[in-house]
């Protein structure tokens, strides 16, 4: 603009000079004034035309320069568009990979969740098995402890046997009762126990003198009566009948079915050597008839055929005898190690299942962390994708604008070329006219040639200044347009920068939120560590208390042993004193022993039953009668009272157990009734919802008609069947069994969709459910499946085209090489976006 102002000033100066020259030349001749004016007008017109042509040429050059700049800008914009397109494509691929990673992480989380649920069930099952085994082992240990205590206390033996066995440290030559000196298999224990009878409680001693001392001990203690078997006196033989072992149902000779120390052979031959064990009573009767009741026969279930033919039998308790108890104790001792081993294995399995559960929880946490990272990456890449989309849109718009501008510039160049040609033609015409006027003027005023020449020079200078002024104006206009374009580009760049700054601020906020969450997690971790330390301290305290209690128990056990030893010493001292007392009162005891041996009465009882005799013969006859009656009663069971107490205790225990079982049965029956009632209500409600959903789904799929679900017995909905009735459009109402194959399949599909509408699942796999449908119904099924896709993800195995067209993603398997399968994936949504298909 300054240059244009200077040129205008110089132009004004030249015009003033030209005007002065014209005024000087105007006085030469009035006649040449007209030609002069014409020449000036022609020259001015030619100068204007030349200036206009120069301005046009300058504008054309400027336009060409702008066109070159626009082409360069267009090339730059296209290059940027291509680069940004590549980056956007790479970002899109990264976004798809991130989305696939997020989906894969979600699938992995689902798998880990299922695995964790399975491992949790496994851990619960292992814990339940461990608890059950712990209870079983505890019950087994308690039973072993009970049986051991019973064995130790000689439970089931009469009072005399107990006293002798408990005092055998003070008595010489006592080996113990017969029941404690032998063992037998569980299946023979009942028969051996019945065969021995009261002989189970016979006490084996070394010599007759030892038996005598024990009998004296019992008399001193008034402990009752016992039978003693001296090893030096007892002799026995086994059964000698030949061929009996070949009889049907023969099990064995009783003495051979028990295990004992060889030194007791004569004892057990005496007790069991002539007793045969048979399988059942029929076999025993057959053997007794064949051998004429020459020996005693006992069956495995406890029935007895005595010598001479008498029979004893009835029901027996298999767990009430001493041998049964010993066999059970042996069996339980054999099982205890196995049970403890199983318990240890159950504990190891429980620990392993808990470790697997912890590992699954860790894997699930890791997968969730990976999923969060993948989701964050997806969000970041989505933001970058949005920025690329905006940038690509702006670049495309800039390229389109530059192309339009170049087209407009080409039009202006063509227009300026036409205008330039017209201006040059005008300049030629005006210069010719000016030359003609100049010749005439020279002819009239030859003296004014110098002034005219000077005027011409001034005119040329004025024309040149005008042309230069026009070029400057054109340059100014081009500069103004470029400045406007640069301002617009700067505005666009400033807008992109503001978006990036906003995205940066958002990312910074997200980073601050993540750091805040990390701080919270670290605080929670520190709190959990503190709780763990407190629990560890408590556990250490409990361990110390446990050690102290164990030490106290050990001390008390040691004190108890010392007290037992003191008691035994006192008992020995008392025994010695009692022996001295027995020696000093032997005569009195002999009388009392005779009274006991004869009548089983002690002195006080006999004194209480004393009766004045009328006559000695009459009393003797009465004594004889009583003895015959006593002999008719058979062998006296001296342990009947103890056995009654034991059986009564067991009966009471079993009665309590039965009452507990009946009570538990009643409670379980009530719970089952409540659960059944709740199941009935829930089933009724859900069946009503399903029936309504089925009716609606059927109408939507079939395009009309009606369908319903009916219970065969509404009063007993948990036990009755369900009938499906359907009426497709234009047909009668029928049960599903009367429909065609395609209609059955379509009704079943409607029922599936109705169930999914009532209880949607996260995903559903369908394997060629529409194989029996025609194309129209396949399309209906696919469209209806699409309406449910917002709540359920469907994975459909199909070969029908209608279902494939409605899918979002297609997966196929091809074999381009023999034995090498390849999976092909087509995302129809992405393809539709790229092809711009609605």
Positions of the chain with pLDDT under 50: 318-320
SS3 768: coil
Tell the CATH topology of 157-320. Answer: Alpha-Beta Plaits (3.30.70)
Give which of 699, 686, 790, 693 is closest to 746, Cα–Cα.
Answer: 699
Give the C-alpha separation, 174 to 164, whole Å. 8
Angle between helices 449-584 and 2-26 (to 10 degrees): 170
Domain residue ranges of the chain, discontinuous segments joined by +: 157-320, 680-835
Looking at residue 458, its pLDDT comes to: 61
Looking at residue 320, its pLDDT comes to: 45
Residue 725 has φ and ψ, to the nearest 5°, of -115, 135
Within a 10 A sphere around the Cβ of 14, how many other Cβ atoms? 19
Give the C-alpha separation, 355 to 345, whole Å. 15
Half-sphere exposure of 524 (CA within 13 A, CB side): 6
Give which of 210, 212, 214 is closest to 164, Cα–Cα.
Answer: 214
Partners of residue 727 on adjacent β-strands:
706
Backbone φ/ψ region at 616: left (φ over 0), alpha (ψ -120 to 50), beta? alpha
* Contact (CB, 8 A) for 775 and 807: no
Give the C-alpha separation, 694 to 700, whole Å. 10
Within a 10 A sphere around the Cβ of 207, how many other Cβ atoms? 14
- Beta-carbon contacts of 621 under 8 Å, excluding residues fewer than 6 positions away, are none
Model pTM above 0.85: no
The residue behind tokens 């939507």 is: 700
Give the C-alpha separation, 299 to 252, whole Å. 11
The residue behind tokens 């049960």 is: 735
* Contact (CB, 8 A) for 767 and 797: yes
CATH class of the structural domain 680-835? alpha beta
Looking at residue 319, its pLDDT comes to: 43
* Contact (CB, 8 A) for 245 and 277: no
Give the C-alpha separation, 8 to 470, whole Å. 11
Backbone φ/ψ region at 713: left (φ over 0), alpha (ψ -120 to 50), beta? beta
- Beta-carbon contacts of 634 under 8 Å, excluding residues fewer than 6 positions away, are none
Looking at residue 318, its pLDDT comes to: 46
Within a 10 A sphere around the Cβ of 187, how many other Cβ atoms? 11
Looking at residue 794, its pLDDT comes to: 92
Task: Give tens-digit pLDDT for 774-794.
Answer: 898 899 899 988 888 888 999
Give the C-alpha separation, 229 to 244, whole Å. 29
Partners of residue 253 on adjacent β-strands:
276
Task: Give tens-digit pLDDT for 368-383.
Answer: 887 788 777 777 777 7
- The domains spanning 157-320 and 680-835 adopt the same CATH topology: no
């Amino acid at each position: 603009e300054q240059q244009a102002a200077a040129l205008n000033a110089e132009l004004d100066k030249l015009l003033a000079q030209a005007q002065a020259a014209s005024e000087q030349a105007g006085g030469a001749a009035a006649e040449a004034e007209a030609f002069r004016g014409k020449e000036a007008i022609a020259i001015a017109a030619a100068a204007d035309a030349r200036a206009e042509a120069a301005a046009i040429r300058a504008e054309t050059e400027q336009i060409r320069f702008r066109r070159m700049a626009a082409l360069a800008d267009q090339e730059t914009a296209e290059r940027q568009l291509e680069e940004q397109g590549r980056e956007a494509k790479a970002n899109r691929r990264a976004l798809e990979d991130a989305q696939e990673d997020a989906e894969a992480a979600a699938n992995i989380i689902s798998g880990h969740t299922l695995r964790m649920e399975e491992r949790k069930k496994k851990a619960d099952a292992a814990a339940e098995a461990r608890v059950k085994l712990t209870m079983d082992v505890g019950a087994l240990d308690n039973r072993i402890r009970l049986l051991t205590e019973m064995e130790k206390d000689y439970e089931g033996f009469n009072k005399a046997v107990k006293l002798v066995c408990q005092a055998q440290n003070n008595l010489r030559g006592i080996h113990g009762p017969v029941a404690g000196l032998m063992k037998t298999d569980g299946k023979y224990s009942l028969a051996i126990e019945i065969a021995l009878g009261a002989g189970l409680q016979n006490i084996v001693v070394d010599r007759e003198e030892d038996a005598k001392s024990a009998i004296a001990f019992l008399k001193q203690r008034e402990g009752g009566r016992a039978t003693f078997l001296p090893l030096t006196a007892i002799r026995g033989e086994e059964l000698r009948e030949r061929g009996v072992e070949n009889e049907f149902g023969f099990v064995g000779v009783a003495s051979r079915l028990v295990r004992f120390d060889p030194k007791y052979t004569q004892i057990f031959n005496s007790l069991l050597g002539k007793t045969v064990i048979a399988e059942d009573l029929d076999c025993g009767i057959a053997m007794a008839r064949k051998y004429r009741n020459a020996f005693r026969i006992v069956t495995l279930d406890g029935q007895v055929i005595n010598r001479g033919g008498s029979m004893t039998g009835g029901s027996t308790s298999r767990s009430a005898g001493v041998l049964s108890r010993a066999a059970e104790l042996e069996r339980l001792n054999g099982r205890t190690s196995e049970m403890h081993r199983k318990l240890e294995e159950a504990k190891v399995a429980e620990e392993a299942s808990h470790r697997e559960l912890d590992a699954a929880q860790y894997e699930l946490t890791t997968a969730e962390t990976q999923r969060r990272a993948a989701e964050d990456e997806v969000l970041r890449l989505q933001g970058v994708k949005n920025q690329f989309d905006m940038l690509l849109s702006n670049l495309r718009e800039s390229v389109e604008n530059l192309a339009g501008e170049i087209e407009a510039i080409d039009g202006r160049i063509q227009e300026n070329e036409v205008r330039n040609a017209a201006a040059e033609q005008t300049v030629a015409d005006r210069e010719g006219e000016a030359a003609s006027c100049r010749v005439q003027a020279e002819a009239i005023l030859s003296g004014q040639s110098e002034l005219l020449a000077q005027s011409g020079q001034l005119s040329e200078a004025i024309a040149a200044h005008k042309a230069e002024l026009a070029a400057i104006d054109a340059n100014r206009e081009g500069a103004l347009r470029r400045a406007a374009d640069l301002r617009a580009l700067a505005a666009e760049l400033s807008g992109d920068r503001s978006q990036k700054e906003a995205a940066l601020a958002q990312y910074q906020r997200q980073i601050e939120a993540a750091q805040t969450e990390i701080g919270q997690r670290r605080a929670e971790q520190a709190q959990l560590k503190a709780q763990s330390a407190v629990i560890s301290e408590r556990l250490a305290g409990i361990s110390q208390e446990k050690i102290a209690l164990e030490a106290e128990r050990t001390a008390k056990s040691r004190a108890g042993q010392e007290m037992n030893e003191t008691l035994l010493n006192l008992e020995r001292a008392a025994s010695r004193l009692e022996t001295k007392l027995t020696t000093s009162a032997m005569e009195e005891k002999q009388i009392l022993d005779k009274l006991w041996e004869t009548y089983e009465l002690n002195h006080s009882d006999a004194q209480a039953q004393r009766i004045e005799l009328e006559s000695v013969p009459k009393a003797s006859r009465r004594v004889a009668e009583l003895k015959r009656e006593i002999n008719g009663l058979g062998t006296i069971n001296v342990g009947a009272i103890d056995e009654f107490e034991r059986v009564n205790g067991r009966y009471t225990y079993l009665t309590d157990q039965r009452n507990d079982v009946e009570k538990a049965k009643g409670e379980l029956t009530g719970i089952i009734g409540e659960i059944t009632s709740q199941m009935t209500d829930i089933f009724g409600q859900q069946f009503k919802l399903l029936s309504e959903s089925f009716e609606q789904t059927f109408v939507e799929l079939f395009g009309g008609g009606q369908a319903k679900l009916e219970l065969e017995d509404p009063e007993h909905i948990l036990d009755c069947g369900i009938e499906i009735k359907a009426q497709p459009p234009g047909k009668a109402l029928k049960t599903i069994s009367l429909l065609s194959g395609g209609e059955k399949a379509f009704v079943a599909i409607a029922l599936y969709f109705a169930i999914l509408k009532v209880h949607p699942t996260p995903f559903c796999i369908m394997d060629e459910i529409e194989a029996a449908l025609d194309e129209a119904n396949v399309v209906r099924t696919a469209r209806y499946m699409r309406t449910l896709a917002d709540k359920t993800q469907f994975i459909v195995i199909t070969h029908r085209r209608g279902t494939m067209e409605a899918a979002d993603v297609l997966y196929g398997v091809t074999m381009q090489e023999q034995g090498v399968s390849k999976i092909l994936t087509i995302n129809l949504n992405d393809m539709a976006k790229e092809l711009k298909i609605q």
